[in-house]
Amino acid sequence: MKKTHKLTWKQAEEIRFKRKCGATQSWLAREYNVTQAAIWNILNNLAHKTKPLTKQEKLARRREKRRIKNFNINNQQLAQMYEQVNHTCTICGKPPDTRWKTLNIDHDHTTNKVRGLLCTRCNTVLGKVEDSPQLLMKLRDYLIKHGKTY
């Protein structure tokens, strides 16, 4: 049977444990059908140093990389922003939507400068009016004209 160098992370952990319990490298190599060099690499932390990431951890890393690329904001800075707004939307003061559970990073699309953290509803409204204060004033006047008061 052909020997392989491929082992899973779990197998590497088992090998480390069995070695601590007194198993020899040659026995481990035969047991897992790998070369003694592969066993040596595992025992000297040259292979399988860390546990593979879960899907959620991979997603969190991807989100942070994208946030750094787009807005130059890392997880620590984002946490500070959340603390500053007390984990609520900057405009309406409500907590994040129950569906998404996070606030959106609002930014100026021309300069890419971050303005604050908004709930999905407020962020969508700003997008629909294309960040136009004049259009927002017209909407306000329209609501007041038709009986909607504050």
Give mean pLDDT, residues 64-68: 91
Residue 150 has a pLDDT of 58
Single out the residue of 49, 13, 15 nearest to residue 34, CA to CA: 15
Domain membership flag for residue 106: yes
pLDDT tens digits for range 88-143: 999 999 998 877 788 999 998 888 889 999 999 999 998 888 888 899 899 888 88
Is residue 1 included in any domain, yes or no? Answer: no
The parent domain of residue 101 ranges over 55-145
Residue-by-residue DSSP string for 65-110? HHHHHHH---HHHHHHHHHHTTTS-TTT-PPPPTTT-S-EEEE-TT
Note whether residue 137 is domain-resident.
Answer: yes
| pLDDT given for residue 130 in this prediction | 85
pTM of the model: 0.60
Residue 59 maps to which CATH number?
Answer: 3.40.1800.10
